[in-house]
Amino acid sequence: MPTFRKTALIEAVQWKGDNWEEIKAFCCTDGPNVTLSEDEQTIRVLTREGLSDPLPIGYWVATDGESFWPIADDFMRANYEEVEG
């Protein structure tokens, strides 16, 4: 059976429900790429495909420097390893 490895480096920030300013600073360097719901419990990210579904607390927002996308926490932890430095 073939074996695969993720090799691309990404940057990501986890939505914790109390770090809106961090998320906004991470996503909004070139314009409004993220929005906060009225109840401040979910965010939506502008991806290549358009505005994402609402992301609950615990989701990650990732970028490769060109676009943003959401990643579920369990998928993030299973597929990405934090790189020091």
**DSSP strands (E only) in 2-58:** 11-14, 34-36, 42-47, 50-51, 55-56
| Domain coverage including residue 67 | 11-79
List the beta bridge partners of residue 62: 12, 69
pLDDT in tens, 3-51: 556 667 899 999 999 999 999 999 886 667 898 999 989 999 999 999 9
On whether residue 54 sits in a domain, the answer given is: yes
Long-range contacts of 41-46 (CB under 8 A, 24+ apart): 41/17, 43/15, 45/69, 45/70
85 domain-assigned: no
pTM of the model: 0.85
Q: Residue 16: inside a domain, yes or no?
A: yes
pLDDT tens per residue across span 57-68:
999 999 988 899
